[in-house]
Structure formats: structure tokens, C-alpha cells
Amino acid sequence: MNIEIDGYNICYKVTGEGDETVIMLQGWGTDLGVYDPVAEAISDKYRFIQFDFPGFGGSDEPREAWNVDAYADFFCRFAEALHIESATLIGHSYGGRVIIKLASRESLPFRINNIVLIDSAGIVPKKSFMQKVKIRSYKILKKLFDLKLVYALFPELVDDWRSRQGSADYRNASEIMRKCLVMAVNEDLTHLLPQIKQDTLLIWGDKDTATPISDAKTMETLIPGSGLVVLAGAGHFSFLEQPAVFRNVMRSYFGIGAV
């Protein structure tokens, strides 16, 4: 289905017909279909909503670069458009960032019942000495390669260097979405974690290299009323890599019997 919000065409999907609503906030660069297994775990008892953020999946791209707060603002308008008065929020990776922003606000146009964070982003790790050196070297080379004369003399060298910079998410993104990503990954949300008052379930893969298990333990320590479930052998998409265990965890947390 599609809905227009602020002039943006937004893709979304609703499954289940329960009295209570659960909304999935996606990870960076994914489309809503990736989270079908999450919906299938609980949609026999809950109304489950999936959607694509602007610039993700089939939704229109923002007309300018958005930071995490802008995506949180958009989500409020999305919830209002769907007449959501209360919901449990599930966030994977980037979606967790948005939930942390929402849950730490003093007021919202809807009520957050509970929170589930799956391999959530939001904590910026301290950079090692070598990482700092690498960043400094990158900035120097970028300034050099951005010179028109240098590019005119060595176009293939410059293009090859540029193609190898940044993560796969960064390289695959448009110019606007790259700016959105840079703003997100450089914003540390650790200080907001103690402000989250909702009961919070953390689900994490112990082999996650994008948002390591140490992030999960920090969140468990700082978020009051939170609990951590570790999925052994799973990485950043733990819900896909350990589907049976994930399903059992979700059904237990949401008070649904095994099927």
C-alpha cells in the first residue's frame, strides 16, 4: 500500500488484526519486506505495520539531507496519518536510533507502549589511534582529489579511490542519502538511553560486527527496565540468522503461546 505524507509517497504494509498495534522501524538501506519474519512471529495476535522510511525501499527520497531527528519527526506524522494512538515499537539497526530519539522526547503525539531493539545502532565507539590516523589521511586525500586539476590529470586513479571509500551502505547510497548516513553514524545517542522509560527488550547477535554485543550490554546497563537476549552465532540480522529462536523470544515477550 501507499500513503502520501508531506508530499512523499510512502510504502507500507499492515498484517494482523489485533487490538494492539506494533510498528517496525527498519535498518539502513533495507526495504520493508526484510521484516516479514518479524511480522509473522506475532501478527496472529497483533496488528503489525511495516513501512519504508523516505529514501528506503520504495518510498520517495527526502528532498534534502535528514538527520535522525528529522526521521523521528517524519515517523510522528506517519503515525498520525494512520491514526495511531499507541503502539509498541520495534527497531532494527537504524530504526533503533529513531526509536531512541522518540522515546527520549518529553512529549509525542502517540504513546509508546513497549520497545524492542534488534541489533540497534545509536552508540558511537571510541576511535583507536589507527582509526584517527586513517580518518586524517582520508580527509587529506579527499581535499587533494577534489581539486579539478588533480582529477583532470589522474581521473582513473581518483575514481578508483573514491569507489573504495566508506561502507557498502555509503557507496550504494545517493548523494542525499550519504549525507543522511554520515549525520547518523556520527551522532552518539548514549546520553539519551537513561531517558527511555518503556519496558525494553534487546535482541542481539553475538557475532554482530556492525553494532557489537558490547553496545547491547551498554544499552542494557543504561536503559531502565531493559533486558537482553543474545542469539548465539547470529550477526547484524539476527532475526534472519536465528529465525526459530527469534520467533520464540518474540512470542514469549508478547505473551503469545508457541505454535
Domain ranges of the chain: 2-124+187-253, 129-181
Higher-pLDDT residue of 126, 73: 73
Predicted structure pTM score: 0.85
Quick check: 189 pLDDT over 90?
Answer: yes
State the pLDDT confidence band at 129, using cuts at 50, 70 and 90.
Answer: very low
Residue 1 burial (CB < 10 Å; 0-12/13-18/19+)? exposed
Question: How many whole angstroms separate alpha carbon 37 and alpha carbon 34?
Answer: 8
Reported CATH class of domain 2-124+187-253: alpha beta
At 192 the three-state DSSP class reads: helix
Range in 74-78, 112-116, 162-166 the model is least confident about: 162-166
pLDDT band at 205 (very low <50, low <70, confident <90, very high): very high
Predicted confidence (pLDDT) per residue in 19-34, tens digit: 999 999 999 999 999 9
| Dist CA 143 CA 147 (whole Å) | 7
- Calculate the average pLDDT of the chain: 89
What's the whole-number mean pLDDT along residues 76-93? 97
pLDDT number for residue 166: 56
DSSP state of 249: H
